[in-house]
């Protein structure tokens, strides 16, 4: 396609989304649920066909020399598809928050004023590799009464096209507009540039992917962006603390999975418990092959641990999101230093204190400037499903609009509703 | 100042604001109230001194040939200052929403998850003429636990400097950081360009002023902007409707004041009541010198009204925010056409239906895509004070983050709070 073709194509999609969004916004809860259940059924009925389309993406990926984890993320197994189907059914069963009116109060003038929850309108989503995100985004869009335009990775284009066809079929079965969910069918990169620069059609952009992608989109977008940048998360072991619990939680926060953004990348330990705690967690990490990058004081306490992999931390370590079996370790004087370190070096994503001290817990919750602040729990819990949101369109590291895991509510806004009996302004 | 000087100056203010914001965020409610009451006292104690500083701005304005309404907006009368002082006291008396934890619920894993209301951090405000906005913004910033950087109009620089000195004095009296509220002390325009492009220090920009200013800032800002664009508001007189009420409300919505953004600029009338209603409202508008720009059908019904000032509407009239004694008038078939017209030509600010029909009222509330939707009330009510917000930092025509009148809540965000007893992710 020429640049003009791309512009026309994206413009048309924008216009269609805008038109569809008015119909999606007023769709009754039962109709949206019908579409979601139809989509679940269609996913199950089409497992084989979807795998055939997916196979073309996989072949191309292997031929292009993508590494095994990348190819794995592309794969639509029956299990992945069943999880997608169940996700749709769970959303269908959740209460519908669109149209909810809250806070209706009478004012001195006599008018009653409240707020109604309404869809944002149209969101654009830009993501990479995993084709199942197509279904996650489409189903959240349907449930929240928005229209959306989805731009998946070029490596998953055949899978995404096949999935998007089923979404359109489900929308039509339920009597919803076919343009309620649209996939950008071209893999031309120019389409992304267009999609993020149509404020007349698109209300918000949600990029999901590497930091480079998100920074580029944020810099160029002409509409608001729900950003998810780094997760440099911390676990702080306070004094006093139940050290058995601390070992279990600090272990889980780092090693339950290394790649997620909510895994802890830094371990801070209060001086008063360091001599007891560090050799214990050091042994656990040693057994799992986790490398520690330690401050001099921690280094001294860790070096005698059997099979330990520990080295001196550099300044850069405090600011690094490893996404790997590596963790930075620092002994701090206590709560104040821990909070200061986290606010300076962390990425305002998720940070936890492990403590028995009530005042320390309260201060940590108040003063740590992160989207999720935790007491006596693993940072790995920072997740839309674990928070009971029922779904997650992304995790926001912004403070504006939505912060932390973003579920259906993050795709809505509140409009003011005023009910009167002929009141006028004096 | 040279460009480098301006850059250094603005950068320093940003850094100071960021540092102050952590202290403002954790300030107890009583301390913030103390600062607000001190500010009220200082404003009353310094009426004469403030008027002397204000006189220099007024002299410059007159010498520069500013028109009388502009000069009036600049004037700090004892009444204006007393209103500012009372505003500070009202804010001090309001409940403090910072630190409020809501929705704490246990999840299947055992963790309890809720949300804590916290300040956004640092906001920048850019405004024109009225120096009392300096006090409104400063007091809202203090109450909401944010730090702020204020950039008033160059025509009010002496008044703003004098007011900002009192704000700093009030902060210090209460033991709050002096950089909690900073005024940009230079009138150089380059400072605005800097202020809106420091995402490392400033979390959100709130411009208040003409459409040109707001569009320019939105286009150039590197941080989120709470925008307030046009107010092309409508009053729709439905069938069936209490026509006595409709005359009173449609009169108030247009004529109570012509310049505010929430004044109605368009009057839509259902065909079924047009022949009865239009001559009545036409007589009211004629008596007040309001010009009507009418569709052919309305024109025919209005022409016989004594002393009427009516002319045929052009297509452009439907899209115009007059801010003047002019109103566009259109006869519509009924509810559907009214909603379609409003969504197409309105500015998504504030629109009202006057009706006796419950179903029509519900559909209007749901389907009109505006920040404020009203039943049987004057559009002039769209205002933070009338909505019970206690204060208003602006009115947002965006859907993202804050919509409609923005009070203290619009200057806050919600962070997630997780309380556990050593739970780990499975």
For residue A209, pLDDT over 90 is answered with no
Per-residue pLDDT of B157-172, as tens digits, reads 999 999 999 999 999 9
With contact defined as beta carbons under 8 Å apart, do A232 and A371 qualify? no
- pLDDT tens digits along A6-61: 999 999 999 999 999 999 999 999 999 999 999 999 999 999 999 999 999 999 99
Taking only the tens place, the pLDDT of each residue in A398-411 is 888 889 999 999 99
Q: Which residues of A touch B362 (CB under 8 A)?
A: none
| 8 Å CB contact of A405 and B421 | no
Please give the Cα distance from B5 to B11 (Å, whole number).
10
Average pLDDT, chain A: 95
Interface probe with B: pick from A350, A376, A424, A426, most Cβ of B within 10 Å: A424
pLDDT digits (tens, 9 = 90+) for B20-55: 999 999 999 999 999 999 999 999 999 999 999 999
A337-396 tens-digit pLDDT: 999 999 999 999 999 999 999 999 999 999 999 999 999 999 999 999 899 888 888 888
Q: How many CB atoms lie within 10 A of CB A106?
A: 11
pLDDT value of residue A401: 86
pLDDT tens digits along B238-248: 999 999 999 99
Contact between A1 and A186 under an 8 Å Cβ cutoff? The reply is: yes
At A357 the pLDDT is: 98
Compute φ and ψ for A187, nearest 5 degrees.
Answer: -95, 5
The kind and range of the H/E element at A212 are helix A211-220
Beta bridge partners of B191: none
A387 interfaces chain B, CB cutoff of 8 Å: yes
Instruction: Report the pLDDT averaged over residues B188-217.
Output: 91
Yes or no: say if A155 and A131 are a contact pair by the CB < 8 Å rule.
Answer: no
B contacts of A96 (beta carbons < 8 Å): none
Considering A126-130, A273-277, B395-399, the range whose residues carry the highest mean pLDDT is A273-277
Q: What is the ipTM of this complex?
A: 0.92
- Equal fold, B3-226+405-418 vs B233-381: no
**pLDDT for B55:** 97
Judge: B416–A404 Cβ closer than 8 Å, yes or no: yes
For residue A215, what pLDDT is reported? Answer: 87
Beta carbons within 10 angstroms of residue B193's beta carbon: 17
Please tell me whether residue A124 adopts helix, strand or coil conformation: strand
For A269, the 3-state DSSP assignment is strand
Q: What is the reported pLDDT for A70?
A: 87
- Helices B47-63 and B29-45 sit at what angle, rounded to 10 degrees? 70
Q: Is A372 exposed, middle or buried (0-12, 13-18, 19+ CB in 10 A)?
A: buried
Residues in A closer than 8 angstroms to B371, CB to CB, are 415-416
User: What's the average model confidence in pLDDT over A231-252?
Assistant: 97
- In the Cβ-directed half-sphere of A88, how many Cα atoms lie within 13 Å? 30
Residue A358 contacts B where some CB pair is shorter than 8 Å: no
Give the strand order in the sheet containing A181-183: A181-183, A147-151, A122-127, A204-208
Q: Give yes or no for B378 touching A (CB within 8 A).
A: yes
3-state secondary structure of A190: helix
Class of domain B3-226+405-418: alpha beta
Is the pLDDT score of B386 beyond 80? Answer: yes
Phi/psi for A312 (5° steps) reads -70, 135
pLDDT at B152: 95
Chain-chain contact of A419 with B376 (C-beta, under 8 angstroms): yes
The confidence score (pLDDT) of residue B166 equals: 98
Do the Cβ atoms of A376 and B404 come within 8 Å?
no
From the number of C-beta atoms within 10 Å of its C-beta (0-12, 13-18, 19+), residue A380 rates as buried
The secondary structure of chain B, three-state, reads CCHHHHHHHHHHHHHHHHHHHHHHHHCCHHHHHHHHHHHHHHHHHCHHHHHHHHHHHHHHHHHCCCCHHHHHHHCCCHHHHHHHHHHHHHHHHCCCCCCCEEEEEECCCCCEEEEEEEECCEEEEEECCCCHHHHHHHHHHHHCCCEEEEECCHHHHHHHHHHHHHHHHHHHHCCCCHHHEEECCCCCCHHHHHHCCCCCCCCEEEEECCHHHHHHHHHHCCCCECCCCCCCEEEEECCCCCHHHHHHHHHHHHHCCCCCCCCEEEEEEEHHHHHHHHHHHHHHHHHHCCEEEECHHHHHHHCCCCCCCEEECCHHHHHCCCCCCEEEEEEECCHHHHHHHHHHHCCCCEEEEECCCHHHHHHHHHHCCCCEEEEEECHHHCCCCCCCCCCCCEEECCCCCCCEEECHHHHEEEEEEEEEEEECCC
Residues 6+ apart with CB under 8 A from B42: B166, B169, B170
Percent of chain A with pLDDT over 70: 100
Q: Which of B298, B289, B27 is closest to B170 using CA atoms?
A: B27
More confident residue, B91 or B70: B91
Measured CA to CA, the distance from residue B239 to residue B271 in angstroms comes to: 8
As a CATH number, domain A233-381 is 3.40.309.10
Q: Is the pLDDT of residue B129 over 80?
A: no
**Measured between CA atoms, how close is B15 to chain A, in angstroms?**
13
State residue B406's pLDDT score.
92
Instruction: Reply yes or no on whether the pLDDT at B219 is more than 90.
Output: no
Sign, CA torsion A42/A46/A51/A53: negative
Residues of A in contact with B401 (CB under 8 A): 224, 400-401
Decide if B235 contacts B262 (C-beta within 8 A). Answer: no
Nearest-CA distance B415 → chain A (Å): 5
Q: What pLDDT, on a 0 to 100 scale, did the predictor assign at position A395? A: 87
pLDDT above 80: residue A144: yes
Rounded CA gap, B424 and B426, in Å?
Answer: 6
A105 in contact with chain B, both atoms CB, cutoff 8 A: yes
Query: Which chain B residues touch A376 with a CB distance below 8 Å?
Result: 419-423
DSSP secondary structure code for residue A270 in this structure:
E
Residues B393-424 have pLDDT tens digits of 888 888 888 899 999 999 999 999 999 999 99
Q: Where are the domains of chain A?
A: 3-226+405-418, 233-381
Tell me how close the Cα of B159 comes to any Cα of chain A, in angstroms.
Answer: 30
DSSP state of A408: G
Helix (H, G, I), strand (E, B) or coil at A130: coil
- State the nearest Cα–Cα gap between B368 and chain A, in angstroms: 10
pLDDT value of position A224: 87
Q: How many beta carbons lie within 10 A of that of residue A308, not counting itself?
A: 18
Q: Residue B62, by phi and psi: left (phi above 0), alpha (psi -120 to 50) or beta?
A: alpha
Q: Which of residues 136-195 of A touch B (CB under 8 A)?
A: none
Cβ burial A381-415 (10 Å sphere, 16+ → b, else e): bbbbbbbbbbbbbbbbbbbbbbbbbbbbebbbbbb
CA–centroid distance for A377 within its chain? 19
- Is the pLDDT confidence value at B355 over 80? yes
Model confidence at A213, pLDDT cuts 50, 70, 90, reads: confident
First to last CA, chain B: 60
Q: What is residue A262's DSSP assignment?
A: T
User: How far is Cα B269 from Cα B278, in angstroms, rounded to an integer?
Assistant: 8
Are A248 and B111 a contacting pair at CB < 8 A? Answer: no
For B246, nearest residue in chain A (alpha carbons)? A422
Residue B99 has which token pair?
């630190």
From the list B6, B406, B412, the residue with the least C-alpha distance to B197 is B6
CB atoms inside a 10 Å sphere around CB A66: 17
Length of chain B: 426
| Residue A229 structure tokens | 């940048």
Q: How many CA atoms lie within 13 A of B182 on its CB side?
A: 28
To the nearest whole Å, the CA of A113 is away from the closest chain B CA by 6
Q: What is the torsional sign of CA B154, B159, B164, B165?
A: positive
Give the minimum alpha-carbon distance from B146 to chain A in angstroms, rounded to a whole number: 13
Q: Does position B230 have pLDDT exceeding 90, yes or no?
A: no
Tell me if chain A has a CB within 8 Å of the CB of B90: no
Q: Which of A366, A300, A352 is nearest to A330 (CA)?
A: A300
- Report the alpha-carbon distance of residue B312 to residue B328 in Å, rounded: 9
């Amino acid at each position: 396609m020429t640049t003009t073709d791309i512009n026309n194509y994206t413009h048309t999609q924008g216009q269609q989304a805008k038109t569809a969004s008015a119909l999606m916004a007023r769709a009754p809860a039962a109709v949206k649920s019908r579409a979601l259940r139809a989509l679940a059924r269609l996913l199950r009925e089409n497992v084989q066909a979807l795998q055939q389309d997916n196979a073309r993406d996989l072949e191309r990926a292997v031929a292009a020399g993508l590494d095994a984890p990348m190819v794995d993320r592309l794969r639509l197994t029956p299990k992945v598809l069943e999880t997608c189907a169940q996700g749709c059914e769970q959303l269908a069963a959740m209460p519908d928050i669109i149209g909810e009116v809250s806070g209706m109060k009478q004012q001195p003038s006599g008018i009653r004023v409240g707020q109604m929850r309404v869809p944002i309108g149209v969101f654009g989503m830009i993501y990479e590799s995993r084709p199942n995100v197509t279904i996650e985004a489409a189903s959240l869009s349907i449930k929240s009464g928005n229209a959306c335009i989805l731009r998946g990775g070029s490596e998953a284009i055949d899978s995404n096209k096949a999935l998007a066809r089923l979404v359109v079929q489900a929308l039509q079965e339920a009597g919803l507009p076919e343009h309620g969910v649209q996939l950008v069918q071209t893999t031309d990169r120019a389409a992304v540039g267009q999609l993020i620069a149509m404020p007349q059609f698109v209300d918000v952009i949600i990029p999901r992917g590497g930091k480079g992608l998100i920074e580029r989109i944020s810099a160029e977008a002409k509409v608001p962006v729900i950003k998810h940048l780094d997760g440099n998360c911390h676990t702080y072991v306070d004094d006093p603390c139940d050290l058995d619990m601390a070992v279990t939680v600090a272990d889980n926060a780092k090693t339950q999975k290394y790649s997620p953004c909510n895994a802890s990348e830094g371990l801070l330990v209060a001086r008063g418990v360091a001599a007891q705690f560090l050799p214990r967690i050091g042994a656990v990490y040693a057994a799992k092959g986790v490398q520690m990058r330690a401050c001099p004081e921690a280094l001294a306490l860790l070096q005698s641990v059997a099979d330990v992999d520990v080295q001196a931390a550099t300044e850069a370590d405090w600011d690094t999101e490893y996404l790997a079996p590596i963790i930075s370790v620092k002994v701090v004087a206590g709560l104040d230093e821990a909070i200061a370190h986290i606010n300076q070096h962390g990425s305002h994503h998720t940070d936890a204190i492990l403590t028995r001290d009530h005042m320390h817990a309260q201060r940590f919750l108040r003063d740590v400037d992160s989207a999720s602040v935790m007491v006596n729990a693993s940072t790995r819990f920072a997740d839309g499903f674990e928070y009971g949101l029922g779904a997650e369109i992304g995790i926001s590291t912004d403070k504006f609009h939505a912060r932390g895991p973003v579920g259906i509510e993050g795709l809505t806004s509140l409009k003011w509703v005023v009910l009167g009996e002929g009141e006028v302004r004096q």
